[in-house]
Structure 1
Amino acid sequence: MKSSFFMGIAIALAAYLIGFLSNNYNVTLKITGFVVIVSFFIAGILNGTFISGDRYRANFMNETKEDRDKKMKMVNYLLLLSIPNAIISLVIIIYRN
């Protein structure tokens, strides 16, 4: 769990450094925004957010506890990866305006 959070911090800092060195924070927003949107989208798919209740119940009944645990662990990794990137994006958007 810690490794995905630190990987998110590394991606966010690298994106910030690229934006700082090129004096173009739009690049930073594109990189961090892409990471956040893709992570949320994949986490939503794995979590079952985009399907109906009947479909979710059918999937829940047909999968094992180990599969659910594995899936939720991946969702947690993706969300922890996206948190530092979302913070950097919000900070840049706030200070830019």
Structure 2
Amino acid sequence: MTYVVTENCIKCKYTDCVSVCPVDAFCEGPNMLVIDPEVCIDCDVCVPECPAGAIYDENDVPEGQTSFIELNRELSGQWPTISQMKDPPADAEDWDGVTGKLEYLEK
């Protein structure tokens, strides 16, 4: 079991979760974060820290977003680890809660 970053992180990319992760399991892409399932220790401290509510236990990923389980695995092998909080994009609040954002994911 691991935790998974889902669609609502796209274009929001809040990094509050990064600051509490004890094992640096987050990886940063151009407009989204993912969790490396090989590093995640399933502690769940990141879940309540995500302002966008985009992090789920892999067994609880919402219907229609299960592809993010494999996407986190794939992209965590390509993107660098992030271990410090950064400012979110200026328009993050505008994108929070918008559905259908997968088309905007920059790999």
Settle same-fold status: TM greater than 0.5: no
- Structure in which a larger fraction of residues adopt strand: 2
Give the structure with the larger helix fraction: 1
TM superposition score normalised by structure 1: 0.25
TM-score (norm 2): 0.23
Structure label with greater radius of gyration: 1
